Each structure stands twice: as structure tokens, then as C-alpha cells.
Structure 1
Amino acid sequence: MSALISEEQDGFVCSSGFVVLQPKQISGDVLLTYLRLPLICKLMDLYTSASMYPAISESDLLNLPIPKFSTATEKAVEQSLQSARQAKQRATQLLEAAKRAVEIAIEQSEIEALA
């Protein structure tokens, strides 16, 4: 599992089974995307221990090959991720509006729900 931790989440409590990376020469979004690539996940699987709670050691994780991406590539990845996050947020808003419209249709009428 991998995730990007926001500033607001700094200091939150989580499992001790996580390795926290603070990227310096690569953006967090690009690193996260890279670590989620199917080929990199397969590579990490070669180093996992246990079966019920598979984990990769910090040293094995830090020894993974991480290429130097061009600034243009990093910007393209970041823009794509930003667009995806905005689309997800919009989809969530539309779903909530649709749920509310169904409630109104049930409680009042379809005409009221469409309004």
C-alpha cells in the first residue's frame, strides 16, 4: 500500500508497518505513481516477507531503482493527477446531488427532485 500524506495529516497515528519517505529530488505525486506501476509492484513483491501481512523492508525499498524524470514528465504526471483528483471530487458531488434528488423524488415528487 502506498499513499501521499498531506500537510494536514502530518502527525496522524498509523500502523508501524509503514515506511515514510520524504522525497527530495522527485515530487511526491511522481514517486507515488512510480511505486504503483505494475512492474515496480512486481519488483517489490520479490522482496516482501510474510504472507498474511506482506511487507518490504525500508532498505529494500530504498534500493529500488528510481529514475531521474525530466521536469516535463513530472509536470505532466502532476497535471494528470490533479485532473483526476478534480474529476473524482466532481463525481462525488454529482453522486451526492443524485442521492438527494432521489430522496426528494421519494419524499415529495419527481418534479421537485428535477428542480
Structure 2
Amino acid sequence: MTQHGKIISIQDVDVVLLDFDYGESKENETAIPYFNIRFDLELHQRRYSLTYNKPVGSDDHFSISGDDYEPLLKALETAPALTAQQQYSLETEQALHEALLPIAESVYEDVEFHSPDQDEE
């Protein structure tokens, strides 16, 4: 833990998890609600924001979005040949998901299966 967040290691690169926030959203009144969790990260003094989302109540996997997704993957890449070409590997992408997906799943399960009655106990 740092003064400004928690350090997580992705491919032996220290990334600071500054914050995360979650909520539900709908495209319109009749649309299926989605659970969204936004991660705010910092690497090399640059901030990145990524969002994991999935339909509420479904067994679907989380999808990821955000304008910072590819720039973060490129910044995390450790292979010099790929770094020089501003590219990233599948291993880097998997390492990012291995670090963040368990957090997203844990928060989703806590929120999805939390009973309002538990607040009264």
C-alpha cells in the first residue's frame, strides 16, 4: 500500500491501483442493466482508467472498455521488441486481466449477493 493507493504487480511491473468505483447502468428503460467497475491506475506517473462490465445476474464474462486500455497494455509490455514497435503481447493482456479480474469478480459477487437485510444485523 502506498500513500496514494495499492501497488499491484503485473508482469513484475508495479502499477498503483489508485481507486475503483462500481455501479449499474442501462442504455434505456427496457435494456438489461449492466454492472460496471472502473479501475483508476497509475504507471510511470501517468493515469489510466479501465472499465469492466457485464450484464447483471448473468453468467457472462466481464468485458473491458476504455480509451486507456491499449495505451496501458503498451506501457506494461516488457518485451523490448514489442515496446519499440508500440505493441503488446497476449501475455501482457492476460497478466492485466489476472490482476484486475479477481477484484472485479469479488466486488460483483459482494454487491450482487448482498441482501439489504444484512445491513440491519
Q: If the TM-score is normalised by the length of the shorter chain, which range does it land in?
A: 0.3 to 0.5
**Higher helix proportion:** 1
**Higher strand proportion:** 2
TM, length-normalised to structure 1: 0.32
Please say which structure displays the higher CA radius of gyration.
Answer: 1
